[in-house]
Amino acid sequence: MTKDVIALTPTMPDVPTLLAGLYAGGPDVRVRTAADGAVVQLCAPDGNTLVSIEAPILIHTFGEPARLLGTGTTTPDTPVWWTEARATTAVPEAGQLAGSFAGRLATVLNGTTWPPEAATTDVVALTTDGPTTPANAHPAIDVLTDTTAVVLQDRPVIAMTSWLSDALRTAIASDRALHIVTPNTARLTLPTRNALGGHPHRWVVQDPQDGYYDGLSGAVLRWQNGTFAPARTSSGTTPVAKAFTNTTDTEDRQLILAIRTRHPADEQLVLGRALETTWHHLTGTPPAGWSTAEPINLPWSTRQLTDLARQRAPQPTWLIAIGHPDRPAIATIRIARTPAGVEEDITLTLGYAEHESPPLEAIRSLAEALTTTDHGLTSMLTSLRHGPRDLTIPPHITPPPNPVALTLGPDTVHDIGTHHAQHPPLNLTPTQLGPASRPALHYPLGDGTDDQTWTILKTLTQHLRMGT
């Protein structure tokens, strides 16, 4: 598995401290930069990469190291500097080199490391003459074939880090699948799950009894022709790993809101306000932080994320927002410039324990807040599912969410036809929101406990499409 080591320090690693870390390999190790200086690489004398070190990140978001590294992780209070070193898996000494680099930073700056047992301050001598990572290889990719980029990860939580995000982009650009291989104890964050998006990308779980299987579908996998592919029985079917079906019943639940907005493209536009309103309505606080990757390092700011999206236009912008640890909540936001304006595609998920009640009674008033103010809501689908309160994805079967309500913004209702949208062919009575001349409509569907609400939602959406 990967040999990632992270130094967590209360102060920024300065030049002398970084030099002390870089000398962990002694005089035989060369140093060079990559990615326009954002990555420092420790290299063998022949130029091949041993360890890639990302520029330190200042994390302002409370609880973020514990969320990604485990609740038992001892870390300095936020703000904290996160400096990550990733070693090639081809050379045993590379992992020791990464551990010595991180250990030296933590020792000098009175910080900690993850994993704690990896940290040393030793000078690591290179004695292995085996293959190393080529100089032009991506630092997050461990195995590269004609069809697949394989990333090996041995973390408790597989986050959508800048390393992993860039590896995914690299794989897609080269027409390859990205396969993330983890032990069966690992879990995915929701941003990682959403970014993978299914076939051809995979979460490959290594289980002691079942071998390899897909952590999202359960399909037993085999390494064939340079990729992980579903195993086939004599009848041509793909078996499901037993480990995937071995689940423990939980009463934890997740409230999921899929929100779409559309705004005129003008200089006064401020993005993120619909998400901020939703977050505050359901939790009493705004988001705690945002970023383009995990860990989430920036304090929440609609102005800053708007500026970033404007700088990247016309290319789309993908962002993550996180909540406070006492109410687990995470959102992904995709901002895109389209002929119709600027569109936000938001998925917000909130976690609740068995003794906590998801605020379903607040969904109607939230719908009214989003449709009667200048948030540009086009639609909002609210659903509820059983799933871990901490919002991670385990490598086990999980039930699908059940719809709770559908809300259509005034422009969407107008495009469908107000009379048509107000009279679905079911025992549904939508609530009118806003002025009668141009209303929004809110359709209550259930309390999230009845699987039949999917049939109701399907019939409703088919009816609505007929009006457009």
Asked if residue 76 lies in contact with residue 9, where contact means CB atoms within 8 angstroms, the answer is yes
- Per-residue pLDDT, 132: 47
- Does residue 72 surpass a pLDDT of 70? no
The pTM for the full model equals: 0.91
CA dihedral (301, 302, 307, 310) in degrees, to 10, reads 150
Q: What does the pLDDT average to over 90-100?
A: 86
Query: What percent of the chain has a predicted confidence (pLDDT) above 90?
Result: 68
| Phi, psi for residue 277 in degrees, rounded to 5 | -60, -45
* pLDDT tens digits, 24-63: 888 778 888 776 667 888 888 877 788 889 899 999 998 8
Asked if residue 383 lies in contact with residue 256, where contact means CB atoms within 8 angstroms, the answer is yes
Q: How far is CA 245 from the centre of its chain?
A: 24
**CA atoms of 298 and 288, how far apart (whole Å):** 9
Residue 406's alpha-carbon distances to 105, 396, 440, in angstroms, are 51, 29, 11
- Per-residue pLDDT, 38: 73
- Does residue 139 surpass a pLDDT of 80? no
Name beta bridge partners: 203. Answer: 180
* pLDDT tens digits, 330-389: 999 999 999 999 999 999 999 999 999 999 999 999 999 999 888 999 999 999 999 999
**Residue that has been written with the tokens 């141009």 in this structure:** 438
Nearest to 291 by CA among 278, 301, 281: 301
- Does residue 1 surpass a pLDDT of 60? no
Q: How far is CA 242 from the centre of its chain?
A: 27
Q: Confidence band (pLDDT; 50, 70, 90) for 75?
A: low
Nearest to 188 by CA among 201, 171, 169: 201
| SS3 (DSSP) at 347 | strand
| Phi, psi for residue 336 in degrees, rounded to 5 | -140, 140
**CA atoms of 50 and 135, how far apart (whole Å):** 9
**CA atoms of 302 and 228, how far apart (whole Å):** 41
Q: Look up residue 399 and give its two tokens.
A: 């039930």
**CA atoms of 74 and 38, how far apart (whole Å):** 27
- Does residue 87 surpass a pLDDT of 80? yes
